[in-house]
Structure 1
Amino acid sequence: MTELVEPVAPAEPAGAGRWCDRCGEPSAAGGHDACAAARALEPPRYCVHCRRRMKVQVVPTGWSAVCVEHGEIRG
């Protein structure tokens, strides 16, 4: 009898991903200096794993961003 085993994706370092979390463009393309500077003051808008637009809520004490596929992050 053969068992089916799903492949496990390699773990990515914190903050790393295939997509820019501000503009949604591929992070490997480079040229995201303005995005990095803006991210110091504002929450992410795109999921770094799947490029989906996230639901973002900003409150006086911080922010939360939710991807329907990958869950919530807070800052």
Structure 2
Amino acid sequence: MTPYCDHCGRPAHEGEHAGCRAARAMEPPRYCPHCCRRMVVQVTPTGWSARCAEHGTLSG
């Protein structure tokens, strides 16, 4: 598991993240799972991309 929740930004091992996992089924990540920085997210008709200044780009 990643150190941070990519939906709410809190540490992944603290608290319940069932709501975050449910939201992530329909939404792109908002926080970098490695460093908890807010990412720049772009949603297109065919998918999404999310960019962390430190760790690069994720896509889906």
- TM-score of the two chains, using structure 1 as the length reference: 0.78
Summarize deviations over 1:6-54 as a string: whole Å, max 9, x none. Answer: xxxxxxxxxx311000000010013000000000000000000000000
Whose strand fraction is larger, Structure 1's or Structure 2's? 2
Counterpart of 1:72 in structure 2 is: 57
Instruction: Mark the structure with the bigger radius of gyration.
Output: 1
Mapped to 2, the partners of 1:74 and 1:49 lie a distance apart of 15
Structure 2: which 5+ residue stretches go unaligned? Answer: none
Identity among equivalent positions (%) equals: 62
Mapped to 2, the partners of 1:20 and 1:37 lie a distance apart of 12
Report how many aligned residue pairs link the two structures. Answer: 60
Structure 1: which 5+ residue stretches go unaligned? Answer: 1-15
- TM-score of the two chains, using structure 2 as the length reference: 0.96
Mapped to 1, the partners of 2:55 and 2:2 lie a distance apart of 12
